[in-house]
C-alpha cells in the first residue's frame, strides 16, 4: 500500500501553494485514480480541486464567446442548453466520449489533461518513455492499433485520447492557467505538445500550473450552423477514437458580395463535389439578405459533379432543402449543373432539387447538362479512365479532347456569361427528375 497525502484546499492560492514536485491535482479522478490503482502514477500528494470556488461555472459572454470553468463536468457542459445551442460541435465531441457515468464525474480540465491510452503506458512492466524517460517504447514494434499515424516520433507513438480537445482546437479556444508565477493564457493549439524527444512533457503547463478555465472566442459562435464532430471507433459507445475530426466552416459570402458590388460583367461561383451544396447555401443566404444587387454583375452558379443528395436526403437537412427550393426559382442567377455517368463519386445527372423532393412549381434551375465523357473524351482516354471513378470526378476541371457544350476553360475564362452561354440550351434528356428522398421538410427562410 502506498501512502499519499490528500488535501482539499478551498482557495486557489492554497491549492497552488500546496503543490510541490511529486504532487498531482485531482479533478473528477476518473483517469488519475485508475492510473494510481495500477501503479502507473504514484503521486505523493493529491490536491483535490473540487472545493475551489467559481471553477464550476459556464459563463456565456455578451460578445458571443464563452468561459468554461475547469471543474465543470463534461455532462453538465454538453447538456447546458445555451452552450450546446451556441457550440454544438463541442457538445457533440463531449457526448462522443466515455460513458454517461464517466461524463457525469469527469471535469473539463481533467479531460484535457488525461493521460495516453497506449496499452504499454498503462502496463508498468513495459518500457515506456512517457512513464520512464529513456526506457524505450514498447509500442514500436508492438500492438500499435489506435496509435498515431501523424505527429509521432521515434520516442513515442501515442495519441491524445480527448474528444473534447479536438473540437476546442477547431474553434481556436484559449486555456486560462494559474501557477506559482501567476496567471497566463495559452492558445489551445499550443497547449498539447507533440512527443518529440521528450514525450513525458505532454502539455505547455509549467510545474505547479493548473487549468482555471477554457475560453471560446467571440468568433467561435459564428460556426454554430456549420461545425461538426466526427469520431470513428471500434464500437459506437464507450470507446476511444481511432480517428476523429472537428470541422468548422466559415460561410459568410462576403467576398462574393464584394465582387457583386464591383464593376465585373459576371461573378461566377463554381462549386465542385461537396462545394456544390455549400455554394447553394451561400448564394441563397446572399439573395435572402438582399446582397445581390439588381444592377450589378450577372451572377452565375456552376455546380460540377454534385453530391447534394448525400446531405439533402438526411432527416435534419431542412435548411439545405429550403435553400435548394429557394434558389431553384430565382431570377438573380443562372445555375448550370454539370455531371456525367462514369463519375462514380457524384449523383450523376440527378437534378439536385427534384430528387430531393423540394421542386416548386416555379422551378427553373438548375439546368442539368451531361459532360458526356464517352463523346467528349477520345476513345483512348475514355478507355484509360473509365474505371478510374475518382479521377473522373475531377474531369470537369480538366481539358476534354473533344469539348462539347461544356468546357471548364471556356466557361470560366471565355467572354460569355454563364446565362448567355447556355441560353436556349435544353437540359440533357438523360437527366433524372424523380423525387426520391424520404425527407422533404424545409426550413422557413
Ligand atoms: C472507460 C473509459 C472510457 C473513456 N472514453 C473516453 C473517450 O471516448 N473520449 C474521451 O475524451 N475521454 C474518454 N475517457 C477519459 C475521460 O474523459 C477522462 O478520464 C476524464 O475526462 C478525466 O477527467 P477527470 O476530471 O476525471 O480527471 P482526473 O482523473 O481527475 O485527472 C486527469 C489528469 O488531469 C489532471 N488535472 C485534473 N484537473 C486539472 C486541472 N484543473 N488543471 C491541471 N491538471 C488537472 C490530473 O492531475 C490528472 O493528471 C474515458 C475514460 C474511461 C475510464
Ligand atoms: S507509444 Fe508512447 S506511451 Fe506508448 S509505450 Fe511508447 S512511449 Fe509509452
Residue 46 CB–ligand 2 contact under 6 Å: no
Spacing, Cα 110 to ligand 1 middle (Å): 4
pLDDT, position 129: 98
Mean pLDDT in residue range 427-440: 96
What's the mean per-residue pLDDT of the chain?
A: 96
Indicate the SS3 state at residue 285: helix
Q: Which of 292, 290, 297 is nearest to 263 (CA)?
A: 297
- pLDDT tens, 166-208? 999 999 999 999 999 999 999 999 999 999 999 999 999 999 9
Spacing, Cα 140 to ligand 2 middle (Å): 8
Mean pLDDT in residue range 330-352: 97
Cβ atoms of 70 and 39 within 8 Å: the answer is no
Residue 129 CB–ligand 2 contact under 6 Å: yes
- Nearest-angstrom CA–CA distance, 328 and 137: 59
Domain with CATH 3.30.465.10 in the chain: 55-248
pLDDT, position 236: 82
Q: Which of 115, 130, 154, 201 to mutate to test the pocket of ligand 2 (most atoms within 8 A of CB)?
A: 130
- pLDDT tens, 354-396? 999 999 999 999 999 999 999 999 999 999 999 999 999 999 9
- pLDDT tens, 205-242? 999 999 999 999 999 988 888 899 999 999 888 899 99
pLDDT band of residue 445 (cuts 50, 70, 90) is low
Q: Is 381 left (phi over 0), alpha (psi -120 to 50) or beta?
A: alpha
How distant, in Å, are the alpha carbons of 66, 156, 169, 244, 255 from that of 250? 19, 35, 15, 20, 12
The residue with cell 435544353 is 426
Q: Select from 3.30.465.10, 3.40.50.2000, 3.40.30.10, 3.40.50.2300 the CATH code of 55-248.
A: 3.30.465.10
Cβ atoms of 371 and 396 within 8 Å: the answer is yes
- Nearest-angstrom CA–CA distance, 223 and 225: 6
Which ligand 1 atom sits closest to the C-alpha of 113?
34
HSE (side-chain half, CA atoms, 13 Å) at 111: 34
Cβ atoms of 116 and 160 within 8 Å: the answer is yes
Per DSSP, the residues of 2-49 read: ---EEE--SSHHHHHHH--TTEEEESS-TTHHHHHHTTS---SEEEEG
Instruction: Give Cα 445 to chain centroid, integer Å.
Output: 25
The residue with cell 457524384 is 346
- Nearest-angstrom CA–CA distance, 193 and 201: 7
What are the φ and ψ backbone dihedral angles of 276, each rounded to 5 degrees?
Answer: -65, -50
Spacing, Cα 158 to ligand 2 middle (Å): 6
- Nearest-angstrom CA–CA distance, 340 and 373: 7
Mean pLDDT in residue range 417-442: 96
Amino acid at each position: 500500500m502506498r501512502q499519499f497525502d490528500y488535501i482539499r484546499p478551498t482557495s486557489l492560492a492554497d491549492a497552488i501553494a500546496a503543490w510541490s514536485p511529486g504532487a498531482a491535482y485531482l479533478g473528477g479522478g476518473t483517469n488519475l485514480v485508475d492510473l494510481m490503482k495500477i501503479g502507473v502514477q504514484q503521486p505523493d500528494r493529491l490536491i483535490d480541486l473540487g472545493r475551489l470556488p467559481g471553477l464550476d461555472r459556464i459563463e456565456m459572454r455578451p460578445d458571443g464567446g464563452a468561459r468554461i470553468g475547469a471543474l465543470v463536468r463534461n455532462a453538465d457542459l454538453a447538456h447546458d442548453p445555451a452552450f450546446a445551442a451556441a457550440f454544438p460541435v463541442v457538445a457533440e465531441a463531449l457526448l462522443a466520449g466515455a460513458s454517461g457515468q464517466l461524463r457525469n464525474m469527469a471535469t473539463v480540465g481533467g479531460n484535457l489533461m488525461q493521460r495516453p491510452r497506449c496499452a504499454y503506458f498503462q502496463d508498468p512492466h513495459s518500457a515506456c518513455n512517457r512513464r520512464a524517460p529513456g526506457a524505450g517504447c514498447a509500442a514500436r514494434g508492438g500492438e500499435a492499433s489506435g496509435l498515431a499515424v501523424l505527429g509521432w516520433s521515434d520516442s513515442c507513438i501515442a495519441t491524445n485520447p480527448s474528444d473534447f480537445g479536438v473540437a476546442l482546437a477547431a474553434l481556436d479556444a484559449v486555456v486560462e492557467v494559474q501557477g506559482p508565477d501567476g496567471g497566463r493564457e495559452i492558445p489551445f493549439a499550443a497547449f498539447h505538445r507533440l512527443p518529440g524527444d521528450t514525450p513525458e512533457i505532454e502539455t505547455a503547463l509549467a510545474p505547479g500550473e493548473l487549468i482555471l478555465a477554457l475560453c471560446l472566442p467571440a468568433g467561435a459562435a459564428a460556426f454554430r450552423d456549420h461545425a461538426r464532430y466526427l469520431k470513428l471507433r471500434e464500437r459506437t459507445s464507450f470507446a476511444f477514437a481511432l480517428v476523429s475530426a472537428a470541422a468548422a466552416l466559415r460561410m459568410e459570402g462576403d467576398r462574393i458580395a464584394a465582387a457583386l458590388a464591383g464593376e465585373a460583367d459576371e461573378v461566377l461561383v463554381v462549386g465542385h463535389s461537396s462545394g456544390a451544396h455549400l455554394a447553394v447555401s451561400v448564394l441563397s443566404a446572399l439573395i435572402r439578405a438582399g446582397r445581390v444587387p439588381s444592377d450589378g454583375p450577372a451572377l452565375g452558379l456552376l455546380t460540377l459533379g454534385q453530391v447534394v443528395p448525400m446531405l439533402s436526403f438526411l432527416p435534419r437537412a431542412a435548411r439545405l432543402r429550403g435553400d435548394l427550393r429557394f434558389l431553384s426559382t430565382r431570377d438573380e442567377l443562372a445555375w448550370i449543373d454539370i455531371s456525367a455517368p462514369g463519375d462514380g463519386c457524384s449523383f450523376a445527372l440527378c437534378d439536385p432539387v427534384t430528387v430531393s423532393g423540394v421542386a416548386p412549381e416555379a422551378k427553373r434551375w438548375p439546368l442539368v447538362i451531361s459532360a458526356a465523357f464517352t463523346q467528349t473524351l477520345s476513345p483512348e482516354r475514355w478507355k484509360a479512365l473509365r474505371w478510374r471513378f475518382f479521377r473522373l470526378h475531377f474531369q470537369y476541371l480538366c481539358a476534354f479532347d473533344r469539348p462539347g457544350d461544356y468546357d471548364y476553360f471556356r466557361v470560366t475564362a471565355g467572354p460569355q456569361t454563364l446565362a448567355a452561354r447556355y441560353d436556349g440550351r435544353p437540359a440533357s434528356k438523360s437527366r433524372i427528375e424523380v423525387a426520391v428522398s424520404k425527407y422533404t421538410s424545409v426550413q422557413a427562410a
